[in-house]
């Protein structure tokens, strides 16, 4: 089974990673987990002409690597095979595109991420992924 776990460095995202680890230990078939971190560059597009080429991409990559660090540590400790993908663009859209391109069986993400204050019941990224993904989606508290 191929599981895609969206990670943004938040506690709910780490709960999602733990859920995927637990699920992988209960399945009889081999499981591979891919972590995806996406950052939206929309707000930074206006500064592109004022900074050296590639510096925004480098900054967003560093943010993603920081977000992925704790999740990777959990997977390494559990001995679960995994890899990671870093994307730039609209976060929900990038998660869905990655899930489709990689032919994942399941998408797992935290019900609320860092921007959880903007939605009272369900994070906007989680809501968009759950309503638009073709794969089953598990939202973890």
Residue 113, classed as helix, strand or coil, is coil
Q: Which of 13, 15, 60 is nearest to 38 (CA)?
A: 60
The model's pTM: 0.86
What DSSP letter does each residue of 52-100 carry, written as one string?
A: -TTHHHHHHHHHHHHHHHHHHHHHHHHT--EEEEEEES-HHHHHHHHHH
**54 — pLDDT class (breaks 50, 70, 90):** low
**Extents of the domains making up the chain:** 32-90
Q: What is the pLDDT of residues 124-137, one digit of tens each?
A: 888 899 999 999 99
Task: Name the phi and psi angles at 132, rounded to 5.
Answer: -115, -20
pLDDT tens, residue by residue, 63-120: 889 999 999 999 999 999 999 999 988 999 999 999 999 999 999 999 875 554 444 4
Residue-level pLDDT at 111: 82
């Amino acid at each position: 089974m191929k599981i895609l776990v969206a990670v943004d460095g938040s506690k709910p995202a780490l709960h999602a990673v733990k859920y995927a680890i637990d699920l992988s230990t209960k399945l009889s078939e081999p499981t591979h987990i891919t972590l995806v971190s996406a950052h939206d560059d929309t707000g930074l597009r206006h500064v592109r002409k004022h900074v050296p080429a590639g510096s925004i991409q480098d900054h967003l990559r560093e943010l993603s690597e920081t977000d992925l660090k704790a999740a990777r540590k959990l997977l390494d400790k559990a001995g679960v095979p995994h890899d990671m993908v870093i994307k730039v663009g609209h976060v929900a859209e990038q998660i869905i595109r990655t899930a489709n391109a990689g032919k994942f069986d399941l998408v797992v993400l935290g019900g609320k991420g860092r921007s959880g204050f903007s939605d009272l019941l369900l994070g906007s990224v989680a809501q968009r992924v759950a309503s638009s993904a073709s794969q089953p989606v598990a939202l973890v508290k």
